[in-house]
Chain A
Amino acid sequence: MKSSVIVFPGSNCDRDIAVALEKMQFKNQMVWHKETKLPKSDLIVVPGGFSYGDYLRSGAIAGKSLIIDEVIKAAKSGCLILGICNGFQILTETGLLKGTLLRNKNLKFINKDVCIKVINNETRFSKKYKKDQILKINIAHNEGNFFTDHNHLNELKDKNLIAFKYSDEKGNVSENSNPNGSLENIAGIYNANKNILGMMPHPERMVDEIISNKDGINLFSSLLN
């Protein structure tokens, strides 16, 4: 499977996701934001980091890059798009995903291993996970507080577009298990077509037992089949 990772000035999880993709046997290419054409890809990843320093609004400026037009075209033709952390923020700024990521409720950057529950395990990204499976996964962000309007929230619920929710180890979704104030503990969402996934936690940090665990692996192996 072919993947492309878009690199913006200030992206800093690009190497991490490239290492994870290659480990999972993807044929990966790095694409600089000034390119005007995307290589043929089955999966496009918009990685984490601080594109443009998070200046103005996280992801706002990257959302206006030339390459983003190509990503939008690819998304409309059904290509799989994965936005991680800053990537999720960029996807919301482009409108490919609805909603927005606000400042964490406690106004501080949070880096922690948290639990998330797999809400929808029937998509290209999640089919190797069990329904309601609990994953231990790393988050690292200042603006991870997902927010959207009533209509979109209803759409997310009705069409089963919520990917993951923050929970405790037993799967209880509550304020106590919500690290950043996200609406309904939402940690990741799909678009209506379910070919675009945006998530705040970092799956690429969870594929190597020496540094963490292997809970992220099934996301990539789901994509491979």
Chain B
Amino acid sequence: MIITDQILEKHGLSKEEFKIIKKLLKRDPNLLELGVFSAMWNEHCSYKSSRLHLKNLPTKGKQVIQGPGENAGVIDIGDDDAIVFKIESHNHPSYIEPYQGAATGVGGILRDVFTMGARPIALLNSIHFGSPKHSKTKSLLNGVVSGIGGYGNCIGIPTVAGETKFNETYNENILVNAMAVGHAKKDKIFYSKAKGLNKSVVYVGSKTGRDGIHGASMASAEFDENSESKKPTVQVGDPFTEKLLMEACLELMKDNSIISIQDMGAAGLTSSSVEMASKGGLGIELELDKVPCREENMSPYEMMLSESQERMLIILEDGKEQNAKKIFDKWDLDFVVIGKTTNTNNLTLKYENQIVGEIPVEALASKAPIYDRKWIKKKIKKSSFNFKKLKKIKIEDALIKILSSPNHSSKNWITDQYDQSVMCDTVLKSGSDAAIIRIHNKDKAIAVSVDSSANYCKSHPITGGKQIVCENWRNLITVGAKPLAITNCLNFGNPENQEIMGEFAECLQGIKEACEFLNYPVVSGNVSFYNGTNKKNIYPTPVIGGVGLIKKLSKPLSHHFKKDKSSLILIGKTFGHLDQSCFLKENYSINEGLPPEVNLLNEKNNGESLLKLINKNLILSSHDISNGGLITALSEMSISSGIGAKILKPKKLTNLIEYFFGEDQARYIVEVEDNSIGKVEKILKENNIFFENIGFTQNEFLEIEGELKISTKDLFKINNEWYNKY
């Protein structure tokens, strides 16, 4: 068969890439081989545009057992416990079919975690939609939330934290990032590296259908008017089968039968077999006749590219097949030996006793062209408006605008659709700075949070990158956890566009700086490019998922005010930075200027000192200050507890709007018992931390001396209206 330009285009391969393929094979590929290359060489699997930049991220540390390169990252949390976690995107499928796109996103990330031997213990998600006024937003929101709940609830893993944001930039390209966290024993981590010759390659799980053929290519292609016609590539998730698969795998993992195991995700059988062989420096031979098929007359091409869900590939030790099959029979799952490892270093595909495809493994795994895409630095655009000329606004009105906005309203409408309590180890749920999950049967817990700041990243990518790592770090500190490591999902537009590539390069620079300074390495992650439609690209949206450790669990530290008449201390200095703030966006629709500066030294010192105070049981409640500034953070503490506060006017004559709505970084509000104030102030002074005593808690009202007095009941009402009305 002659490979025409049209066929190449359909496979998402360029003419240059085709030339390289011919060189590697020393002949023309047949259609099956071309399909295999297209799956392995697309952006989603090969990271060809991002690899060069990702190499610079800090990935090591005392706490890191496994960094990027495996199905998920692994960190050491002491004793013999390890935490396995990763975040991944499922943006394009979710735009086309929101329920199934989101559901299969959750399914995929769960497999990445339990394939390493970890029982998943928490799910998180970061979802971004277009403007609420956009015609598709409501149905997308409904579909995605139902899909996440439908899958997570059915498989019985609590969905405990997340963020939901609205911004016109996502009008035609929503983002659905799903994160899974699992618990494993340090000495029982399973990797995907194939070892040994003539070992059985076993297929387990659901049967293979025609789902998602060319899904991986779709993820790497922008949408245009013809996106609707991409419909048939969406997969349907089956959380029930995944639950069976998870239990069967975890059961098999109790003994030493498994040499290596990999889930079949993007590019299904192709990527899993190639990656296992490549990591082990081996070849792999598959007899495609043996692949369990759901549909009749499936061709080898379809079998290799199918993205049917809920399937794994396992390489077993000799002699362990019978016992393994018993386990999978118990759980009513397919278990078929479909191939073996070889020493040919080739991916050899056989069908009806003939070789129908043969490609050197390394050509697929590591010879994908790596692009050093041209990029340009972000042009700095200072703000052009004159703050003094803006229409005056009362603090109360500005605050109400923020608290009642889609981005700030209470997310209970969403989180009530997720089972947060199943597995009975959820100590602190959604709505907190971070969720806390107890390690089963143990005294310790982990804290998890997921965060992003697209507006900051758009206006100044380096600062945005730094800021988002710091905010995530702060969210863990503020619940009393020591931040250990992160996973990142990098959602960007078209990398062939120099500005977009510049945003990518610079955001990563910022992320790198912050991660290095805070000893907060990246252990796993995902890149999603081509989030754009008709040449309009999304704002750069790196999403950071962080995990921290609480060594000894006592009463969880939340951001709810605990009692009245406690003192409130503001840790960190306030400069009143309003550019890129929620205040300007919600009240004046102004999006200009640069984000607040990030001072990594202050972030580190302030956070570590707060952790010291928390560990000495000197803090009643704690909250980090981010979007919306000080008054928004105080409101959140009031709304969640029903207890208000009385805030004194700042001692230095300052513009009150700047003081209360400024989004300066490295700041926290802490509630301290009156008789502990002395001790707290002493420790802060000893550590050179800038702090201010800003007032005290009081029943019923949130008050700023002479400027604002609003009841906590009203605050609650204002904050809980939007989703129900929408």
- A residues sitting closer than 8 Å to B (CB atoms) are 9-10, 12-13, 15-16, 19-20, 32, 34, 49-50, 52-55, 108-112, 138, 140, 142, 202, 204-205, 208, 210-212
Contacts and interface: CB of A to CB of B under 8 A. Distances in A.
B243 interface: yes
Contact of A50 (B154, B415, B555): B154
Interface stretch (B422-430, B511-519, B540-548, B650-658): B422-430
8 contacts: A12-B155, A12-B156, A13-B156, A109-B150, A110-B416, A111-B416, A111-B420, A112-B416
A178 to B, nearest CB: 15
B424 A109 contact: no
A10 B155 CA distance: 7
A157 B278 CA distance: 68
Given A53-B239, A55-B240, A210-B553, A138 B421 contact: yes
B153 to A, nearest CB: 6
B424 A54 contact: no
A212 B424 CA distance: 9
A211 B427 contact: yes
Nearest to A108: B417
Nearest to A7: B247
A109 B153 contact: yes
B419 A211 contact: no
B240 A109 contact: no
Chain B interface size, under 10 / 10 to 19 / 20 to 34 / 35 or more: 20 to 34
Contact of A111 (B330, B417, B423): B417
A52 B240 contact: yes
B422 A13 contact: yes
Contacts of A32: 330
A10 B425 contact: no
B418 interface: yes
Interface in B396-435: 415-427
Nearest to A14: B156
Nearest to A209: B555
Contacts of B128: none
B421 A111 contact: yes
B317 interface: no
Q: Which of B146, B240, B555 has the most CB of A within 10 A?
A: B240
Nearest to A51: B240
Contacts of B555: 210
A65 to B, nearest CB: 12
A211 B153 contact: no
Contacts of B331: 9
Q: Which of A10, A138, A204, A212 has the most CB of B within 10 A?
A: A10
A19 B440 CA distance: 10
A205 B415 CA distance: 18
A10 B244 contact: yes
A-B pairs, top 7 by smallest CB distance, nearest first, are: A12-B156, A53-B240, A140-B419, A50-B154, A16-B424, A111-B419, A109-B417
B156 A50 contact: yes
B438 interface: yes
B238 interface: yes
B149 interface: yes
Contact of B153 (A19, A34, A50, A138): A50
Interface string B639-665: 000000000000000000000000000
B332 interface: yes
A10 B243 contact: yes
Contact of B240 (A10, A111, A212): A10
Contacts of A54: 154
Contact of A140 (B146, B155, B422, B438): B422
A208 B424 contact: yes
Given A50-B156, A110-B417, A9 B243 contact: yes
Interface in B218-263: 238-241, 243-244
Given A10-B154, A110-B417, A202-B421, A210 B438 contact: yes
A39 to B, nearest CB: 19
Nearest to A179: B416
Contacts of B243: 9-10, 12, 50, 53
B238 A211 contact: no
Contacts of B156: 12-13, 49-50
B88 to A, nearest CB: 23
Given A52-B240, A109-B153, A211 B438 contact: yes
Contacts of B241: 53
Nearest to A49: B156
Contacts of B416: 108, 110-112
A20 B421 CA distance: 14
B438 A205 contact: no
A156 to B, nearest CB: 28
A53 B243 CA distance: 9
Nearest to A19: B424
Contacts of A110: 416-417
Given A16-B422, A16-B423, 15 more contacts: A9-B331, A10-B244, A12-B156, A12-B422, A15-B424, A53-B154, A53-B240, A109-B150, A111-B418, A140-B153, A140-B421, A205-B421, A210-B556, A211-B424, A211-B426
A223 B239 CA distance: 35
Given A50-B156, A53-B154, A53-B239, A9 B244 contact: yes
Contacts of B244: 9-10
A15 B422 CA distance: 10
Interface string B458-483: 00000000000000000000000000
B423 A15 contact: yes
Contact of B238 (A15, A53, A112): A53
Contacts of A142: 153
Contacts of A12: 155-156, 243, 422-423
A161 to B, nearest CB: 28
B361 to A, nearest CB: 36
Contacts of A55: 240
A16 B556 CA distance: 21
A49 B155 CA distance: 8
B223 to A, nearest CB: 29
Contacts of A53: 154, 238-241, 243
Nearest to A50: B154
Interface in B369-396: none
A212 B156 CA distance: 18
Nearest to B152: A109
A102 to B, nearest CB: 18
A109 B421 contact: no
A85 to B, nearest CB: 10
Q: Which of B243, B332, B416, B419 has the most CB of A within 10 A?
A: B419
A67 to B, nearest CB: 14
A81 B190 CA distance: 40
Nearest to B437: A211
Interface in B543-569: 553, 555-556
A52 B415 CA distance: 24
Contacts of A212: 421
A206 B238 CA distance: 30
B186 to A, nearest CB: 22
A208 B438 CA distance: 12
A177 to B, nearest CB: 15
Contacts of A210: 427, 438, 553, 555-556
A210 B438 CA distance: 9
Nearest to B145: A108
A130 to B, nearest CB: 25
Given A9-B244, A9-B332, A50-B153, A204 B424 contact: yes
Contacts of B240: 9-10, 50, 52-53, 55
B414 to A, nearest CB: 10
Contacts of A138: 421
B309 to A, nearest CB: 13
A210 B424 CA distance: 10
A204 B556 CA distance: 20
A140 B157 CA distance: 12
Contacts of A202: 421
A34 to B, nearest CB: 8
Q: Which of A15, A53, A204 has the most CB of B within 10 A?
A: A53
